[in-house]
Structure formats: structure tokens, C-alpha cells
Amino acid sequence: MECELRYAEQERSLQREPRMTQAEQSEHPTRDHILNLLSDGEAARVSGPETQTLRRGDEYLDLEQLQLGVQRADGVKTLEHVLSRKAIQEDTWRRVLRQLKTAAV
């Protein structure tokens, strides 16, 4: 019984959370929006689990948390779901950043 009550409370709290409208969702770039900006060759380099080894100072985007913007690795680490600046052409990196900047405005 107690478990059922907690479940019902969780359901009610989820229903009260504001949801983004379709227009709001289209303004926020997603992982797929960003990956669609890549050339076929770039996409092949970062496809799969999108796990990349980064060195101190490497710039990257966390594709699961794009709202964090460009981040820098603080040491050698292997991260999943990232797009490393060094994995793509500079022109593509600029297009990605423009996409993020446009969405932030």
C-alpha cells in the first residue's frame, strides 16, 4: 500500500512538471542536430559510442549536455558522448558553435 502511494505521488509530480512546447524544443539543438552538421568522414570518426580520449586542454562538447557549451579537458580522460574539436574540421567546429550560439539567443 505504501509503495502504491509513493508511486501515485510520483505520477502527480511528473504531471505538474512544465513540458517544452514543440517550438521550444526546435530552438534547442540536440545531439542529432549537431551530428547532422558533420561530413560523412567526420561522422564516421565520431560515430559508434562516441568515446574519445581527450588530453589536458582539448576542447569538446558533451552531446548529452549541450547547454554546458564548450568544455576543456582537465587531464587525460576518456569520455563518452562527446564531440572533440580535434575530431572534426575547423569549419565544421565553427558551424557547430554557430548552431549553439543561435539556440542560446
Q: What is the pLDDT of residues 59-72, one digit of tens each?
A: 999 999 999 999 99
Residue 37 has pLDDT above 60, yes or no: yes
The separation between CA 6 and the C-alpha centre of its own chain, rounded to angstroms, equals 32
105: confidence class by pLDDT, cuts 50, 70, 90: low
13: confidence class by pLDDT, cuts 50, 70, 90: very low
Whole-angstrom Cα distance, residue 35 to residue 14?
30
Please spell the DSSP secondary structure of 29-65, one letter per residue. --HHHHHTTS-HHHHHHH-TT--EEE-TT-EEEETT-
